[in-house]
Amino acid sequence: MNDTTAAAPEGDAVRQHTLAVIEAARRTLLAHDMSAFADLWAPDGTLEFPFAAPGAPRRLSGREEVRAYLADYTDHIDLRALPEFRVHPTLDPRTAVVEMRAEGFVVPTGRPYELRYVAVVTVEADGISSYRDYWSPLAAAEALGDALPGRGVGAGEVGEGVGDGDRHGAGAGDRQGAQAR
C-alpha cells in the first residue's frame, strides 16, 4: 500500500463528515431551528456574502455572530421547502458546492418566497469553517419588498458588528426574497 492509497480512507471519512454537516444544515433550516443551524459552525467559522447589497454585512465571524445574525430569521421567512438541493463534492473532501432553491413565505406580508442559492461550504472537524453564500440582492429585494429588513415592514435592529439593518444573505432559506422568474 502506498501513501496515496493509505490516505484515501481518511479522505472518504472527511468527505462523509462534510456531507453529513451539509445534510444537518438542510434539516435544521427546514425545521426552522436557527440555533441548531448556527451550532453547525466551528467556533471561529465564517459566513460570507460576496454579493451582499450595500449596507448589508459581507462577513460574519464566529459561531456566536452567525447565531445573533440568524436569531430573528423566522420572523421574516417561513421556509417551507428546498425542492432543489444538489451537493457537488470537490477535490478537497472538506469542501462542497451546494445549489439550492428555497420556497416559503415572507412572514410580514404573506408573499411567496423563492430564491436560488449557490454556497461554497468548507467543514472542519469542529464544524463549518467557511460558508460563502452567493445570492442575488435584486431578487431578494423583489421578493421581500417592504418586508426587507431595514426597509419598512419587518425592519429591525441588527446585532452589533453584524451590519446596519439590511439583514439578508444568510444562506439557504434566509431572508432574501424571491428569485426573479
Over residues 2-39, the pLDDT tens digits come to 443 344 558 899 999 999 999 999 999 999 999 999 99
Tell me, yes or no, whether 115 lies in a domain.
Answer: yes
Tell me, yes or no, whether 161 lies in a domain.
Answer: no
Q: In what order do the strands lie in the sheet with 77-89?
A: 59-61, 41-48, 127-134, 112-124, 95-106, 77-89
Q: Print the domain residue range for 84.
A: 3-147
Most confident stretch, 52-56, 113-117, 119-123, 137-141: 119-123
pLDDT at 156 over 60: no
Tell me, yes or no, whether 162 lies in a domain.
Answer: no
β-strand pairing of 95-106 with 77-89? antiparallel
Query: By the 8 A CB rule, do 105 and 76 touch?
Result: no
Give the count of beta carbons closer than 10 Å to the beta carbon of residue 108.
19
Tell me, yes or no, whether 110 lies in a domain.
Answer: yes
pLDDT digits (tens, 9 = 90+) for 41-99: 999 999 999 998 888 899 999 999 999 999 999 999 999 999 999 999 999 999 999 99
Tell me, yes or no, whether 124 lies in a domain.
Answer: yes
Distance, in Å, from the CA atom of 29 to the CA atom of 175, rounded to the nearest integer, reads 12
Alpha helices in the chain (DSSP H): 3-30, 34-39, 63-70, 137-144
Which residues neighbour 135 within 8 Å (Cβ) at sequence distance 6 or greater?
Answer: 49, 51, 115, 116, 117, 118, 168, 169, 176
Tell me, yes or no, whether 157 lies in a domain.
Answer: no
Cell of 46: 465564517
Tell me, yes or no, whether 29 lies in a domain.
Answer: yes
Total number of domains in the chain: 1
Q: Please tell me whether the overall predicted TM-score, pTM, comes out greater than 0.85 for this model.
A: no
CATH number at residue 55: 3.10.450.50
Tell me, yes or no, whether 159 lies in a domain.
Answer: no
